[in-house]
Amino acid sequence: MNICINGTSHTRFGTTNEGIGELAARCCTRLLDDTNLSIDEVGSIYISNFSSHFCAQCHLPALLTSELGVTKESTRVEAACASGGAALKQASIALSSGLYDAIVVVGVEKMSARSQDATSILSYAGSEEERRHGVTFPGLFALMARSHFHEFGTSEVDIAKVAVKNHRNALSNPNAQFHKSITVDDVLNSRVIASPLKLLDCSPITDGAAAVLLSSEEVARRLTDTPVYLTAIAQVSDHLSLKNRETLTSMPAVIKAAEQAFDVSGLTPQDVDVAELHDCFTIAELIEMEDIGFCERGAARELINEGATEIDGEIPVNPSGGLKARGHPVGATGIAQIVEIVRQLRGEAAQRQVPDAEIGLCCNVGGAGGTAVVSVLSR
Amino acid sequence: MNICINGTSHTRFGTTNEGIGELAARCCTRLLDDTNLSIDEVGSIYISNFSSHFCAQCHLPALLTSELGVTKESTRVEAACASGGAALKQASIALSSGLYDAIVVVGVEKMSARSQDATSILSYAGSEEERRHGVTFPGLFALMARSHFHEFGTSEVDIAKVAVKNHRNALSNPNAQFHKSITVDDVLNSRVIASPLKLLDCSPITDGAAAVLLSSEEVARRLTDTPVYLTAIAQVSDHLSLKNRETLTSMPAVIKAAEQAFDVSGLTPQDVDVAELHDCFTIAELIEMEDIGFCERGAARELINEGATEIDGEIPVNPSGGLKARGHPVGATGIAQIVEIVRQLRGEAAQRQVPDAEIGLCCNVGGAGGTAVVSVLSR
- Mean residue pLDDT of chain A comes to 97
pLDDT digits (tens, 9 = 90+) for B154-174: 999 999 999 999 999 999 999
- Which residues of B are less than 8 Å from A232 in CB distance? none
Pick the residue from chain B with its C-alpha nearest to A96: B97
Query: Has residue A202 got a pLDDT over 90?
Result: yes
Do A58 and B72 make contact, defined as CB atoms within 8 angstroms?
no
What mean pLDDT comes out for the span A27-38? 96
In whole angstroms, what separates CA B259 from the centre of its chain? Answer: 18
Q: Please, which residues 229-258 of chain B have a Cβ atom closer than 8 Å to chain A?
A: 234-241, 244, 252-253, 256
**Is pLDDT at B367 greater than 90 in this prediction?**
yes
pLDDT tens-digit map of A262-306: 999 999 999 999 999 999 999 999 999 999 999 999 999 999 999
Q: Is the ipTM of this complex over 0.90?
A: yes
Nearest residue of chain B to residue A238 (CA atoms): B71
Secondary structure (DSSP) of B160-216? HHHHHHHHHHHTT-TT-S------HHHHHHSPEEETTEEGGGB----EEEEEEEEEE
Residue of B nearest to A71 (CA): B238
Mutate to test the interface with B, among A47, A48, A59 (most CBs of B within 10 A): A59
Total CB pairs under 8 A between chain A and B: 208
d(CA A60, CA B240): 9
A328 catalytically annotated:
yes
pLDDT of residue B102: 98
Taking the CA of residue A297 and the nearest CA in chain B, the distance in Å comes to: 21
Distance from CA of A146 to the nearest CA of B (A): 24
Spot the catalytic one: B148, B295, B328, B362: B328
**Residue pLDDT, tens place only, B61-103:** 999 999 999 999 999 999 999 999 999 999 999 999 999 999 9
- Asked if the model's pLDDT at residue A362 lies above 90, the reply is yes
B363 is a catalytic site residue:
no
In 3D space, the residue among A56, A21, A51 whose CA is nearest the CA of residue B121 turns out to be A56
Question: What contacts A281, CB < 8 A, 6 or more positions away?
Answer: A137, A138, A141, A145, A197, A201, A202, A203
On the question of pLDDT at A1 being above 90, the answer is no
Query: In this predicted structure, what is the pLDDT of residue B1?
Result: 79
Q: Residue range A144-161: average pLDDT?
A: 98
Q: Could you give the 3-state DSSP secondary structure of residue A362?
A: strand
What confidence score (pLDDT) does residue B30 get?
Answer: 98
Tell me which chain B residues have a C-beta less than 8 angstroms from the C-beta of A51. 52, 58
pLDDT band, residue B243 (cuts 50/70/90): very high
Task: Tell me the pLDDT tens digit for each residue of A57-99.
Answer: 999 999 999 999 999 999 999 999 999 999 999 999 999 999 9
Would you give the DSSP letter of residue A191? P
